[in-house]
Chains A and B, each alone.
Chain A
Amino acid sequence: MHAFANPTRFLKLAAVIQPWAIGLCIFCFAIGLPMAVVFSPPDYQQGETVRIMYIHVPSAWMGLFAYGVMAAGSASYLIWRHPVANMIAKASAPIGAMFTALCLLTGMLWGEPMWGTPWVWDARLTSMLVLFFLYLGYMALGDAFDSPEQGDKAAAILALVGSVNLPIIKFSVDWWNSLHQPSIFSMAGVSVDSAMLPPLFLMVGAFQFYYVVVVLMRVRAQVLAAKVRAARLMRAA
């Protein structure tokens, strides 16, 4: 871990991983997407709409996963001052927010035929909505300072505060949901046929590798931007 704190060394490692991640991402999509959309069986209750699950569930997972990476990166940035950890955290935020938004959007598309309305205050969807706002807060805070370092540190603390709060929010929303709306149908309640599992795992893999590819690209861009900034400061001094 400490060995990769050095940005240059990290970039070398990234250059090795990158082509593999791209290859695996394409592979998973190429096999998983046709399986999910065409070859997997329709649900006996929901029919063809169940195919939204192959996007919805991996998005939800990635939304949470990216937040976990963000919190872990922020913690190691605050404790050990690892510049790369902070860059990974910063790079994860927009991707995580995008996946969370995708999860909400597919949830609404799925809800339309299931509930007859695009939005129901389902406990899981509501928690994802709050998660989306936590991402927005993190990104807005990080960009709001004249000194980039101050923004990084403030946002890192917010990521940790958010990660402490996330389980509390989840617990609260679950309780609130059970009080107001005894769930008739929850998205978690889909009985997953064993034939649905291979395409689902492939889609999760595809999303995961996509995330790795984009995070590495963003970290690389950040390292280069930091070098440009440092060079400019040198000239100004």
Chain B
Amino acid sequence: MKSFFILIGRDLRLSIRHRADTIMVAGFFAITVILFPFGIGPEPGVLERVGAGILWVTALLASLLSLDHLFSDDEQDGALDLLLTAPVAPTTVVAAKITAHWLTTGLPLTLLAPILGVALQMPSESTLPMITALLIGTPTLSLIGAVGAALTLGARRRGVLLPLVILPLYIPILIFGVGAIDTSGMGFDANGLFAVLGGFLLMAAALCPWAAAVALRIATE
């Protein structure tokens, strides 16, 4: 457990040094969301209706962007070999890197979403559900994404391959993430939907670090 926090500390320190990466992901998220009113017109009724969908789809794409170098930086400078041979379980290494990834992408996106929600004229009642849904849903994105990042490590045309591998697996989170925000926005009880999102998170937390560690082993072979 101690090594888990040491590993997170290292990745967080690195992302503070390379803070442009985090800022770029947040910037991509903001500018892409802002594009939608231009694309579909600024009528309040329309934007309000599709706002949650826009936020989630854009969050999926933004989290995908940063997955590209989740493991590849460590792979290129040889640190991955050393981490996998260190006296730490590979699943711990992977879990720590996923946590750090979420702290530097999922969390900033979650905090940015309410501001962008205003731009999309979403009702103020959906602000809290929006934050909650993203808070439960985005870690699952990082977890599933890590499996894809590990599987595509060392592959050709990785930038195109990663979305093809990962995005279909993101669909359930998209469906329930949007559903939870919309249902609460309409004034209905959405606890069941948040519970489903939570269930996805637990399942992903149990399986993904392990699958990603197996994939990393194969990638370093």
Distance in Å: Cβ of A157 to nearest Cβ of chain B: 5
B residues within 8 A CB of A160? 211
A77 to chain B, nearest CB (A): 12
Q: Report the interface size for chain A: residues with CB under 8 A from the other chain.
A: 29
| Alpha-carbon gap, A161 to B148, bound state (A) | 10
User: Can you list 7 A-B contacts with CB-CB less than 8 angstroms, sorted by A residue number?
Assistant: A144-B155, A145-B154, A150-B221, A157-B151, A162-B169, A168-B203, A173-B175
Interface string of A135-150 (1 = CB under 8 A from B): 0110011001110001
* B2 contacts A by Cβ under 8 Å: no
By the criterion of a CB under 8 Å from any partner CB, how many residues of chain B are at the interface?
28
Q: Is there contact, CB below 8 Å, between B168 and A141?
A: no
Decide yes or no whether B215 CB sits under 8 A from chain A.
yes
Contact A154 B155, beta carbon cutoff 8 Å = yes
A144 CA to B156 CA in the complex, in Å? 5
Give the chain B neighbours of A134 by CB distance below 8 A. 168
**B152 and A176 contacting across the interface, CB-CB below 8 Å:** no
Tell yes or no: A172 within 8 A of B by CB.
Answer: yes
Residue of A nearest to B183 (CB): A179
What residues of chain A have their CB less than 8 Å away from a CB belonging to chain B?
130, 133-134, 136-137, 140-141, 144-146, 150-151, 153-154, 157-158, 160-162, 164-165, 168-169, 171-173, 175-176, 179
Indicate which residue in B179, B207, B218 contacts A154 across the interface (CB closer than 8 Å): B218
Interchain CB contact under 8 A, A141 and B151: yes
Q: How far is the CB of A88 from chain B (nearest CB, A)?
A: 20
Whether A146 and B156, one on each chain, are in contact in the complex, defined by CB atoms closer than 8 angstroms, is yes
Most chain A CB neighbours (cut-off 10 Å) among B147, B151, B214, B221: B151
* Residues of the A chain whose Cβ atoms lie less than 8 Å from the Cβ of B151: 141, 154, 157-158
> Secondary structure at chain B's binding surface: helix, strand, loop or mixed?
helix
A140 touches B219 (CB 8 A): no
Asked if B221 contacts A168 (CB within 8 A), the reply is: no
- A151: chain B residues at CB < 8 Å are 155
A168 with B168, Cβ < 8 A, contacts A141-B161, A145-B155 known: no
- Residues B169 and A144 in contact, CB atoms below 8 Å apart: no
Q: B148 to nearest A CB, angstroms?
A: 8
B155 to A, closest residue via Cβ? A144
B172/A169 in contact, CB under 8 A: yes
A130 to B174, CA, bound (A): 13
Residue B176 at the chain A interface, CB threshold 8 Å: yes
By a CB distance below 8 angstroms, the chain B residues around A168 are 172, 200, 203
The chain A residue sitting closest to B203, CB to CB, is: A168
Contacts of B218 in A (CB 8 A): 150, 153-154, 157
Pick from B165, B179, B207, B211: contact of A141, CB under 8 Å: B165
Pairwise interchain contact A176-B147, C-beta atoms closer than 8 A: no
User: Closest CB-CB distance, A175 to chain B, in whole Å?
Assistant: 7
Task: Name the contact of B219 in the complex, choosing from A130, A136, A146, A154 (C-beta under 8 A).
Answer: A154
Contact (Cβ within 8 A) A150 B169? no
Residue of B165, B172, B203 most packed against chain A (CB within 10 A): B165
> Knowing A154-B219, A157-B214 touch, does A172 contact B165 (C-beta < 8 A)?
no
Please, which residue of chain B has its CB at the minimum distance from the CB of A168?
Answer: B172
Bound-state CA distance A151–B152 (Å) is 9
Chain B nearest Cβ from A137, distance in angstroms? 4
Contact of B168 with A144 in the complex, beta carbons under 8 Å: no
Q: Encode B118-147 as 1/0 by CB contact (under 8 A) with A.
A: 000000000000000000000000000001
Interface string of B207-221 (1 = CB under 8 A from A): 100010011001101
Q: Is B20 an interface residue (CB 8 A)?
A: no
Given contact pairs A133-B167, A161-B169, A168-B200, a sample of 9 additional A-B residue pairs in the complex whose CB atoms are under 8 Å apart? A130-B171, A133-B164, A141-B152, A145-B154, A151-B155, A157-B215, A157-B218, A172-B175, A175-B179
Please determine whether A165 and B169 come into contact, CB atoms closer than 8 angstroms. yes
Point out the residues of chain B lying under 8 angstroms from A133, CB to CB: 164, 167-168
* Complex CA–CA separation, A176 to B179 (angstroms): 8
State in angstroms the CA–CA spacing of A153 and B176 once bound together: 31
Q: What CA separation (Å) do A168 and B155 show in the bound complex?
A: 27
Expressed in whole angstroms, the Cα–Cα distance for A157 and B157 within the complex equals 19
